[in-house]
């Protein structure tokens, strides 16, 4: 009888007088998580989302990884939720960080807002537009040149894996001067990839489970960061003027920065920083292989940049980057279709009224990004890869229906860094190399976007007289 009562309460949660959206809470504790992580093989909405929208409408309730969740595929509601950042919602996946960074004497929301403001400021300082213009652009160009030259000597390259290592090496170098020549780069990126892909796994800390391995890998990565921090603190001659050094300099003024929290902070930024960019580049390869006319126009744009220079071998400039109009269309269209995760996660800090429903305080909110980016009312034939569509999209429509890097005040501070990296990569790829798809490239979501068996490419240097 007791267990029957508990199951009834689980399936019929209360809402303090409000009306919960329709839906099902699934099984006790695990909810409907198992259905969410069943693999799908399409860029369309995840079947878990699609089926429930058809059954319950664009707003429904469920339970995932042990938490009650309101899922919204309603563009108006999603836009409203993003506007509530720092007021009635906060980022859910930073819940653990907010506890680490809790400031004595301040409310949870005030402390969280102060920490987020600092993280955004320091990230923009090292990866924002000014830094990109002044020093990062040539460093990215050099890294891409070296990577593609190395790849061209190999029989085939798993692009996703190789791109992850390439982007991690430069990002980690800027964060804490992690050496590019370090032989463990590939192993470290594999750990980060595993953790990223496990973000929505069942939280069962039992040996043999995905979650248990995720925790072990996280512990190993944090140890590298903690050891590096200790070296800097004890040996002033180890200072490099990088991201890590700035956090050390700020420890006195920002009391939430400690020997425990700084590695957590860098770990979180690294986790978010390179994985999605590498996945996007891999998806670009897949699309270019399937759409030769896109590759033709992309190549023409970059060859025109070379022809307009006095010296075709001179480095790329910021003006060159801003002139890559069609390249930006290709990147935007890839990001629109990618939708790496089922949605952005937020946590309700108080009861929120949306449409005819109430989102209870403490519940997680999943904002379904694909509901906006695959909306046929905004994007005709939404599952088609069509970079030319961006010529006719106005800025207001894009601002409300295209959020690859988040929305509201939580938009990723490294967005321009990611787009610049991809644009430079494509410039060097199409002007200096030929490439052929060997095998792979099949889309698989479980529920995070990946590629079954990878995507293997053969690269070869392009002869100077080839057009």
Residue 214 lies in a domain: yes
Residue 158 is predicted with a pLDDT of: 96
Which structural domain, as residue segments, surrounds residue 350?
Answer: 2-461
- Here the CATH number for the domain that contains residue 181 is 1.10.630.10
Which residues in the chain come in under a pLDDT of 50? 94-107, 465, 467
Q: What would the pLDDT profile of 397-445 be if each residue is shown by its tens digit?
A: 888 889 888 765 567 888 999 999 999 999 999 999 999 999 999 999 8
Residue 20 lies in a domain: yes
Label residue 337 exposed, middle or buried (CB < 10 Å: 0-12, 13-18, 19+): buried
Residue 55 lies in a domain: yes
Contact 136, 174 (CB under 8 A): yes
Residues whose CB falls within 8 Å of the CB of residue 351, separated by 6 or more in sequence, listed in order: 16, 18, 358, 359, 360, 361
Residue 106 is predicted with a pLDDT of: 47
Label residue 71 exposed, middle or buried (CB < 10 Å: 0-12, 13-18, 19+): buried
Question: What whole-number distance in Å separates Cα of residue 83 and Cα of residue 105?
Answer: 27
Residue 337 is predicted with a pLDDT of: 96
Residue 292 is predicted with a pLDDT of: 96
Question: What whole-number distance in Å separates Cα of residue 453 and Cα of residue 465?
Answer: 35
Residue 161 is predicted with a pLDDT of: 92
412 annotated as a binding-site residue = yes
Reported pTM: 0.90
Residue 331 is predicted with a pLDDT of: 98
Residue 467 lies in a domain: no
Question: DSSP string of 379-401?
Answer: SSSTTS--GGGGGS--HHHHHHH
Residue 340 lies in a domain: yes
| Count of domains observed in the chain | 1
Residue 119 lies in a domain: yes
Residue 466 lies in a domain: no
Question: What whole-number distance in Å separates Cα of residue 293 and Cα of residue 318?
Answer: 27
Residue 95 is predicted with a pLDDT of: 40
Residue 153 is predicted with a pLDDT of: 96
């Amino acid at each position: 009888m007791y267990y029957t009562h508990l199951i009834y309460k689980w399936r019929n949660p209360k809402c303090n007088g409000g009306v919960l959206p329709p839906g099902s809470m699934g099984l006790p504790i695990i909810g409907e998580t198992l259905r969410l992580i069943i693999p799908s093989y399409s860029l369309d909405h995840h079947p878990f989302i699609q089926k429930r929208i058809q059954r319950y409408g664009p707003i429904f309730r469920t339970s995932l990884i042990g938490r009650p969740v309101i899922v919204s595929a309603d563009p108006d509601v999603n836009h409203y939720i993003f506007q509530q950042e720092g007021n009635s919602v906060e980022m859910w996946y930073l819940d653990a960080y907010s506890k680490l960074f809790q400031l004595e004497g301040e409310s949870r929301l005030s402390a969280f807002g102060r920490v987020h403001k600092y993280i955004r400021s320091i990230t923009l300082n090292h990866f924002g537009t000014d830094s990109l213009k002044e020093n990062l652009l040539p460093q990215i160009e050099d890294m891409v040149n070296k990577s593609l030259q190395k790849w061209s000597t190999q029989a085939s390259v798993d692009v996703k894996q190789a791109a992850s290592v390439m982007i991690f090496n430069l990002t980690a170098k800027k964060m804490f001067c992690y050496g590019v020549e370090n032989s463990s780069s590939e192993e470290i990126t594999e750990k980060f990839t595993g953790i990223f892909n496990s973000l929505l796994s069942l939280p069962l800390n039992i040996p043999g489970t995905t979650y248990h391995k995720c925790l072990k890998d996280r512990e190993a990565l944090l140890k590298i960061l903690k050891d590096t921090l200790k070296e800097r603190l004890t040996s002033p001659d180890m200072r490099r003027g990088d991201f890590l050094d700035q956090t050390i300099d700020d420890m006195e003024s920002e009391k939430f920065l400690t020997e425990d929290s700084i590695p957590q902070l860098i770990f979180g930024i690294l986790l978010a920083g390179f994985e999605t960019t590498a996945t996007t580049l891999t998806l670009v390869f897949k699309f270019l292989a399937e759409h030769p006319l896109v590759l033709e126009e992309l190549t023409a744009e970059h060859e025109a940049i070379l022809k307009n220079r006095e010296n075709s071998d001179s480095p790329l400039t910021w003006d060159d980057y801003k002139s890559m109009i069609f390249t930006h269309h290709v990147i935007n269209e890839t990001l629109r279709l990618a939708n790496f995760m089922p949605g952005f996660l937020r946590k309700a800090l108080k009861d929120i009224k949306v449409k005819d429903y109430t989102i209870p305080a403490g519940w997680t909110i999943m904002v379904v990004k694909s509901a906006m980016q695959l909306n046929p009312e905004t994007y005709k034939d939404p599952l088609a890869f069509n970079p030319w569509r961006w010529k006719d999209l106005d800025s207001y429509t894009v601002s409300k229906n295209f959020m690859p890097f988040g929305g509201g005040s939580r938009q990723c501070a490294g967005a321009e860094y990611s787009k610049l990296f991809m644009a430079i990569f494509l410039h060097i790829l199409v002007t200096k190399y030929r490439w052929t798809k060997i095998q792979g490239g099949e889309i698989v979501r479980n529920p995070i976007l990946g590629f079954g068996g990878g995507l293997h490419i053969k690269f070869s240097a392009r002869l100077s007289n080839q057009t």
